Amino acid sequence: MSNAPANYEEQVYAGVLGKIIGVYMGRPFEGWSKAKIEEKWGQIDRYVNEDVGHDLIVADDDITGTFTFVRALEDTQKYEATSAEQFGETWMNYLIENKTILWWGGMGHSTEHTAYLRMKNGIKAPESGSCALNGKTVSEQIGAQIFIDAIGMCFPGEPERAAKVAEAAARVSHDGEAVYAAQMVAAMVAMAFIEKDLFKVMDHCVTLIPADSMIAEMHKLVREWAIEDRDWRKTFERIDERYGYHKYGGNCHVIPNHAIMVMAWAYAPENFHQSQIIINTAGWDTDCNAANVGSVMGIICGLDGINKDYDYQSPLADRVLMPTAEGSRGTSDALREAYYIASIGRKCMGWDQLDKQQWMHFSQPGALHGFRAENDGVSLSNVDKALAIENTADESRISTPVLTRKESGGTGGYGVTGTPRLYGNYKITADIAELDNCQVKLFVRVGGNAEDPDQKLLYSDVLTESGTLAFTIPEIGEQLVIDFGFVISGTGKAVINSVDYDAVPTACFKDNTETPKFKMGADIPGYVLDVDNMRGPFSDDDELQLRFIKSQGRGSVVTGTDDWCNYQVSARLNNHLGDYVGLVGRYQGQSRGIELRQQGNVLKLIEHCYGETVLASCEHPAWDVDAFHELSLRFEEESITAFIDGKEVLSGTTHLCHGGAGFCWANGLVGARDFSVSAVEAAEVGSVENGELVSSS
């Protein structure tokens, strides 16, 4: 092992910010023409989301796909040797059809949805994305380059390796010129870590794709035109004539969009702001193009360069929404995503890992971990890698979301699904470096869901001088932690070094079919659902329950996070019409986790890891229709113990040592109630009554 460059994480953070900024800049007018954009704004030199009634922070496939599909490198433990087939398996692990990550435009319309359907029907990558199967037009749309930036970040200074891995990743869904475009972007991102002359970066990276490809030709021509024209609008007209949408069809072809990316790089090789102005004002697939340009330019220009001409960073406060089948990172932030990518990159490069990072550590310039002020009279900034809070009001609150459910932005139909980062019984610890003429306390906002009018604030003790402030969230039952934050009292300054927590697995729901959060529909706040519909009990049911429908395939309802380890999960389940019903633990996605399954007259303990391995099985009487049985799984490090109706029935061991919990079934309808998760050997910490902590003693 060897040491990484001292600024590796900082450069990854700059690349991640550049990617996110590009999406947030370009999303409000995605698909607009240059003429329409110029008619409304002249040029795009700022965030314009409010002008068209959109949120700034949005869920978007460009962000979620980029920061999720890179997980294949670590999930497989193959890193550079990860194959196209394994990237495809990663897709299927984190995707829920019509719900997470992708734009679900349908067969032959959305290239990614087309590839997903191929894999769903048993066709493996790379055939799933091939021109031979899907046709040239579909297979050469824009998506491969959209999802590729993080691959480059994992191979800093190694564009050849980045291009090789990018090809495998791209071929899950794309072929031909789309693959070359993805290789080009990944290679440029990788090389930008060590070479800040963007023209040298492009000169080298274009040699890594076929010389006779359209992508290679366009890089040469567009750069020549830029030298001749000295006006990007003139160059755009040339691009439109030669490479425009009238020449390259389908939903959103890579050729026109990659061409204007080259144009933005050629005209603004050293200026992040100017490159964003050009790529966004040029139109077409603005969020995708601005994001790819932004990731390269973020690393080229660095954090200071990103904000030199316009404050891109403060308005977004690092906030990121990432809906996937594994809900831990549904609500995240740019710094956390950057350090996660960098941890994979260190493994790819054979570099030493950093010490375990706190949940919030503010260790890069400008990083805010999602914190924003909830009232006037308080301001936030990152000073010397700490969160500085200046308060001029009597009392102020700042907060960061830990669960986001709101439908995003009003464009594209992307929703938000995920699980809370914090649950009841978690112990939160904040390192307060400075308190000047003020005092602070921690709080969490809890409620039935993020829009619940009966939300409550639960508070820690008050800290009056610098030091460590600890807060154990009380037992909150079925309520959810929505936000976490600080209350600052007094007109002064507080400086926060870091925040961390101890995860204590805990969750539950019973039968609350009459409460607002369980209305008819496929949603339970704080859970990730792969269901077609849900409802309350039938008229002749003996017990209140939730009923879940998955008409075809495997359905699931899961909660929890990737730092749950030792716990017991239980639920009372019945089978109304399903091939099987099961309990899930150590859940890491659709294809990774442990399942206790009752199927016919056989009970199985199964490990899912891109396939099913039966760890243990036994005969067990088949269930009567609608008869409830209690299933339990107990996890202690590698050991698993399974129970049914209170009796130990099976045991086994697993290498999957963390993950969430829930239940599953296939091809039918099941009933559920009394779902609960509790930590193994968890301490009692009290409960909540009317929003107040009540001691357990």
| Range from 397-411, 592-606, 642-656, 671-685 carrying the lowest mean pLDDT | 397-411
**Calpha distance 573→629 (Å, rounded):** 6
Hey, do 356-502 and 506-679 end up sharing a CATH topology, with the first three levels equal?
Answer: yes
Pairing of strands 319-321, 331-333: antiparallel
Asked if residue 449 has pLDDT above 70, the reply is: no
Residue-level pLDDT at 447: 86
Which structure tokens are listed for 529? 């659902």
543, 512 Cβ separation under 8 angstroms = no
CATH class of 356-502: mainly beta
Burial of residue 210 (CB within 10 Å: 0-12, 13-18, 19+) is exposed
**Calpha distance 166→182 (Å, rounded):** 6
**Chain centre to alpha carbon of residue 135:** 30
Asked if residue 682 has pLDDT above 50, the reply is: no
Could you give phi then psi for residue 318, rounded to 5 degrees?
A: 80, 0
429, 500 Cβ separation under 8 angstroms = yes
Asked if residue 3 has pLDDT above 90, the reply is: no
Asked if residue 440 has pLDDT above 60, the reply is: yes
Mean pLDDT of all residues in 151-174: 98
pLDDT tens, 242-256?
999 999 999 999 999
In terms of Cα–Cα distance, which of 594, 567, 564, 616 is closest to 663? 594
Band (695; pLDDT cuts 50, 70, 90): very low
The ranges assigned to domains in the chain are: 17-327, 356-502, 506-679
How many alpha carbons lie under 13 Å from residue 590 in its C-beta half-sphere? 21
Which structure tokens are listed for 23? 């999406």
**Calpha distance 480→423 (Å, rounded):** 7
297, 251 Cβ separation under 8 angstroms = no
Could you give phi then psi for residue 216, rounded to 5 degrees?
A: -65, -40
Residue-level pLDDT at 524: 85
Mean pLDDT of all residues in 252-277: 98
- Start-to-end CA distance of the chain, whole Å, equals 51
27, 48 Cβ separation under 8 angstroms = no
**Chain centre to alpha carbon of residue 202:** 30
Burial of residue 674 (CB within 10 Å: 0-12, 13-18, 19+) is middle
Amino acid at 357: Q
Q: What are the CA-CA distances from residue 503 to residues 100, 456, 560, 617, 658 (Å)?
A: 25, 21, 10, 31, 11
| Range from 3-7, 408-412, 526-530, 577-581 carrying the lowest mean pLDDT | 408-412
Could you give phi then psi for residue 184, rounded to 5 degrees?
A: -65, -45
Which structure tokens are listed for 81? 């040797």
Mean pLDDT, the chain, rounded, equals 93
407, 390 Cβ separation under 8 angstroms = no
- What does DSSP assign to residue 128? G
Amino acid at 251: N
Fold of 17-327: ADP-ribosylglycohydrolase fold (1.10.4080)
Higher pLDDT, 685 or 477: 477
pLDDT tens, 554-563?
999 999 999 9
| Percentage with pLDDT > 90 across the chain | 90
Q: Residue 588: in which H helix or E strand, if any? A: none
Band (412; pLDDT cuts 50, 70, 90): very low
Length of the chain: 697
Higher pLDDT, 209 or 687: 209
pTM listed for this prediction: 0.94
Which structure tokens are listed for 204? 């080298």
Asked if residue 537 has pLDDT above 80, the reply is: yes
Band (93; pLDDT cuts 50, 70, 90): very high
Residue-level pLDDT at 523: 77
Residues contacting 463, CB < 8 A, separation 6+: 432, 435, 439, 440, 441, 469
Strand ranges (E), 19-154: none
* C-alpha angle 411-561-551 in degrees, rounded to nearest 5: 60
353, 346 Cβ separation under 8 angstroms = yes
Amino acid at 260: I
pLDDT tens, 204-234?
999 999 999 999 999 999 999 999 999 999 9
pLDDT tens, 341-381?
999 999 999 999 999 999 999 999 999 999 999 999 999 99
Asked if residue 696 has pLDDT above 80, the reply is: no
Amino acid at 602: V
- What does DSSP assign to residue 206? G
Asked if residue 683 has pLDDT above 80, the reply is: no
Residue-level pLDDT at 522: 65
Could you give phi then psi for residue 147, rounded to 5 degrees?
A: -95, 15
Residue-level pLDDT at 432: 97
DSSP sequence for 381-444: EE-SSSEEEEE-SSEEEEEEES---SPPTTSTT-------S--TTPEEEEEEEEEES-EEEEEE
382, 362 Cβ separation under 8 angstroms = yes
- What does DSSP assign to residue 360? B
The CATH architecture of the domain made up of 506-679 is Sandwich (2.60)
Residue-level pLDDT at 337: 98
Which structure tokens are listed for 251? 């939903």
Residues contacting 539, CB < 8 A, separation 6+: none
Count Cβ neighbours within 10 Å for each residue of 255-289 and write b for 16 or more, e otherwise. bbbbbbbbbbbbbbbebbbbbbbbbbbbbbbbbbb
318, 1 Cβ separation under 8 angstroms = no
Residue-level pLDDT at 459: 97
| Percentage with pLDDT > 70 across the chain | 94
Residue-level pLDDT at 510: 79
Band (502; pLDDT cuts 50, 70, 90): very high
In terms of Cα–Cα distance, which of 172, 207, 166 is closest to 85? 172
Amino acid at 439: Q
**Calpha distance 463→470 (Å, rounded):** 10
Residue-level pLDDT at 692: 38
